[in-house]
Homo-oligomer: A and B are copies of this chain.
């Protein structure tokens, strides 16, 4: 089983932060829009179980993602299963119809503009996502993949990178939670 070890930080001055990365010769991708449809389970309260089922549209590509409960108190580490769906709007509509037929319901939509970067740190390649999230704010997410035995080391690596960039106050809540709490 593979874990996504992820820590997220609010970035009040987004432009200055991006510039700081660029100054360190980190390449940042062009922005891509991601539209996430979160689904409510027919009989389980995902807010209480700390799970999520999500349909993501990224350009023409579609994905379904299951996120399990967070496995510790400080990071956003979860079990994650992400699978590609057929591309395009018709495929996404059919998947939505299938999931609705078995009782899932659209719960909320998160739209964001995301730029990706890979930051070398302590001999690892940390994936960074610079996110401008509609109705929520601006954030950076750091991510490493790890097996269960490597979760602690991956988290320490990310914490160290964040500190070096002047980020200290992590945000454990998801964009979905932040969006729903802000309403």
Contact = CB atoms under 8 A, between A and B. Distances in A.
Contacts of A101: 51, 66, 68, 79, 81
Given A83-B91, A84-B86, A86-B83, A43 B98 contact: no
Q: List the number of copies, as a whole number.
A: 2
A36 to B, nearest CB: 16
B66 A103 contact: no
A43 B42 CA distance: 7
A128 interface: no
13 contacts: A41-B42, A42-B42, A42-B43, A43-B43, A44-B103, A51-B102, A66-B98, A81-B94, A83-B91, A83-B94, A83-B95, A83-B98, A84-B86
Given A66-B102, A79-B101, A81-B101, 15 more contacts: A41-B42, A41-B103, A42-B42, A42-B43, A42-B44, A43-B103, A51-B101, A66-B101, A68-B101, A81-B97, A83-B86, A83-B91, A83-B94, A83-B95, A83-B98
